[in-house]
């Protein structure tokens, strides 16, 4: 296990671990105004790319703020910022903490990876179904929101539950395939398929304990 994953903490992967990485990380910090000379790890190309992207980005950001503040006026801008802040608060202070709490429970369950995948699919589908489900009032005409959304969401959830159960209970074929991938990546095609079966096994056993 390398130093980064051993750290395991927030943003562990981004923590400068070596000299060159530390240098590059400083470069990243300088990125808001990437005026520093081209640095070691990435050459002049990277320096030019960052300047061009940063310039374009600042211009577009300025244009957007101008459109909002100048063209639409103070009242619209204020309302927009209010909605933006409210949505941010709902996401960062409510939604993500709930997801993290769910993750705490999830990690203790068997088949947690398949479960996480299933929850991701179901949760995304629920989010996309919320506007049709919650919209007040009747649709403008029968061709708008014409589907039976509660029924369809239940159908989808049932299908995802089946697929999740299958993925959790039938790990063998996947394990062989992943092993094959790992073996190919590791040994550069020298080892033919079955040898690499250990890697995902390690991942499965190792990952929960690691935290």
Partner 1 sequence: MNGNANGNPGGEANAHGEASGERAPAEREPAAGSISAASRPARPEGAAPALVRRAPVPPLPRFRGPLHDARTATAVGRWLGLAMAVCFLTGLVSHELQSPQGWLAPHLPSRPVSGYRLTQGLHVASGIAAIPLLLVKLWTVYPRLFAWPPARSVRHALERLSIGALVGSALLELFLGLVNIAQWYPWPFPFVPVHWALAWVLIGSLLLHVAVKAPDIARHWRRDRTGADAQAAERRSLLRGVGAAVGTLTLVTAGQSFGPLRPLTLLAPRRPDGRAQGVPVNRTAAEAGVLDVAAESWRLHVAGPRPFELSLAELRALPQYTARLPIACVEGWSVSAEWTGVRLRDLVERAGAPAASFLRVVSLQRHGGYRVMEMGPHYASDPATLLALRLNGAELSPDHGYPARIIAPNRPGVWQTKWVARIEVLR
Angle value at C-alpha 120, between 158 and 137, nearest 5 degrees: 70
188 binds partner 1 (CB under 8 A): no
Contacts of residue 197, defined as CB under 8 A and 6 or more positions apart, other chains included, come to 175, 176, 179
161 binds partner 1 (CB under 8 A): no
- SS3 sequence, the chain? CCHHHHHCCCCHHHCCCCHHHHHHHHHHHHHHCCCCCCCCCCCHHHHHHHHHHHHHHHHHHHHHHHHHHHHCHHHHHHHHHHHHHHHHHHHHHHHHHHHHHHHHHHCCCCCHHHHHHHHHHHHHHHHHHHHHHHCCCCCCCCCCCCCCHHHHHHHHHHHHHHHHHHHHHCCHHHHHHHHHHHHHHHHCCCCCHHHHHHHHHHHHHHHHHHC
172 binds partner 1 (CB under 8 A): no
48 binds partner 1 (CB under 8 A): no
Residues numbered 120-159 forming contacts with partner 1, rule: CB under 8 A: 120-121, 123-125, 127-129, 131-132, 134-136, 139-147, 149, 152-153, 155-156
Rounded to a whole number of angstroms, the minimum distance from the CB of residue 40 to partner 1 is 10
64 binds partner 1 (CB under 8 A): yes
Rounded to a whole number of angstroms, the minimum distance from the CB of residue 99 to partner 1 is 6
Closest to partner 1 by CB, 19 vs 143, is: 143
192 binds partner 1 (CB under 8 A): no
Among 72, 158, 161, 187, binds partner 1 (CB under 8 A): 72
34 binds partner 1 (CB under 8 A): yes
Rounded to a whole number of angstroms, the minimum distance from the CB of residue 164 to partner 1 is 10
Rounded to a whole number of angstroms, the minimum distance from the CB of residue 192 to partner 1 is 20
Q: What does the alpha-carbon distance between residue 50 and residue 191 come to, in Å, rounded to a whole number?
A: 41
17 binds partner 1 (CB under 8 A): no
173 binds partner 1 (CB under 8 A): no
Site string for partner 1, 80-99 (x = CB under 8 A): x--xxx-xx--xx--xxx-x
184 binds partner 1 (CB under 8 A): no
43 binds partner 1 (CB under 8 A): no
């Amino acid at each position: 296990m390398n130093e980064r994953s051993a750290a395991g903490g927030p943003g562990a992967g981004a923590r400068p671990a070596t000299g060159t990485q530390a240098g590059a990380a400083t470069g990243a910090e300088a990125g808001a105004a990437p005026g520093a000379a081209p640095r070691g790890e990435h050459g002049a190309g990277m320096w030019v790319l960052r300047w061009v992207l940063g310039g374009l980005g600042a211009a577009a950001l300025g244009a957007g703020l101008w459109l909002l503040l100048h063209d639409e006026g103070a009242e619209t801008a204020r309302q927009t910022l209010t909605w933006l802040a409210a949505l941010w608060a709902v996401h960062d202070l409510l939604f993500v903490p709930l997801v993290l709490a769910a993750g705490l429970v999830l990690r203790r369950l068997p088949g947690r990876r398949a479960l996480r995948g299933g929850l991701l699919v179901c949760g995304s589908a629920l989010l996309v179904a919320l506007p049709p489900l919650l919209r007040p009032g009747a649709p403008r005409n029968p061709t708008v929101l014409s589907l039976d959304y509660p029924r369809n969401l239940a159908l989808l959830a049932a299908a995802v539950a089946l697929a999740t159960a299958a993925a959790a209970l039938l790990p063998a074929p996947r394990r062989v395939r992943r092993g094959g991938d790992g073996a190919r990546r590791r040994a550069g095609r020298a080892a033919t398929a079955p040898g690499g079966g250990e890697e995902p096994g390690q991942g499965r056993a190792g990952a929960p304990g690691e935290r």
